[in-house]
């Protein structure tokens, strides 16, 4: 059975801010990249453990996918077969807050 992928409110806000920032220069590129980030997050339904452990947190349940300069940080809840996308985070912004 596939995992359910849930974007937290913080992840929604991150995604919106990323797209708005890129759209200042190129609206089409912003939309395309926003969908690329979202598609990568939604791919976790089949492969929730595909990302690496987040080095800052050393928690088996907090993982990340790296896409260009962005980190898709997520929490895997195996008991309920759910993946919570916590943040879409630009690597240049330092360590992300991943309050769960």
> What residue numbers bound the domain in which 28 lies?
4-92
51 within a domain of the structure (yes/no): yes
Query: What whole-number distance in Å separates Cα of residue 11 and Cα of residue 99?
Result: 11
54 within a domain of the structure (yes/no): yes
What pLDDT score does 60 carry?
Answer: 85
37 within a domain of the structure (yes/no): yes
Given the structure tokens 């996308």, which residue do they identify? 85
99 within a domain of the structure (yes/no): no
Q: How far is CA 5 from CA 9, 59, 69, 76, 81, in A?
A: 13, 19, 22, 9, 9
Q: Output the pTM of the full model.
A: 0.91
Q: What is the DSSP string of 43-95?
A: GGGT-TT-SEEPTTT--TTEEEEEETTEEEEEEEETTTTEEEEEEEEEGGG-S
User: 17-61: per-residue pLDDT in tens?
Assistant: 999 999 999 999 999 999 999 999 999 999 999 999 998 887 889
CATH number at residue 26: 3.30.2310.20
- Tell me how many domains the chain contains: 1
77 within a domain of the structure (yes/no): yes
pLDDT at 14 exceeding the cut of 80: yes
100 within a domain of the structure (yes/no): no
What pLDDT score does 100 carry?
Answer: 61
More confident residue, 98 or 80: 80
Instruction: Name the pLDDT band for 68 (thresholds 50, 70, 90).
Output: very high
What pLDDT score does 74 carry?
Answer: 97
What pLDDT score does 25 carry?
Answer: 97
């Amino acid at each position: 059975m596939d995992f359910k992928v849930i974007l937290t409110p913080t992840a929604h806000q991150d995604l919106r801010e990323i797209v708005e920032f890129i759209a200042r220069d190129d609206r089409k590129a912003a939309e395309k990249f926003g969908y690329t980030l979202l598609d990568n997050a939604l791919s976790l339904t089949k492969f929730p453990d595909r990302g690496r452990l987040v080095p800052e947190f050393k928690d088996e349940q907090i993982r990340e996918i790296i896409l260009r300069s962005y980190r898709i940080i997520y929490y895997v809840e195996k008991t309920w077969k759910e993946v919570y996308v916590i943040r879409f985070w630009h690597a240049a912004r330092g360590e992300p807050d991943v309050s769960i």
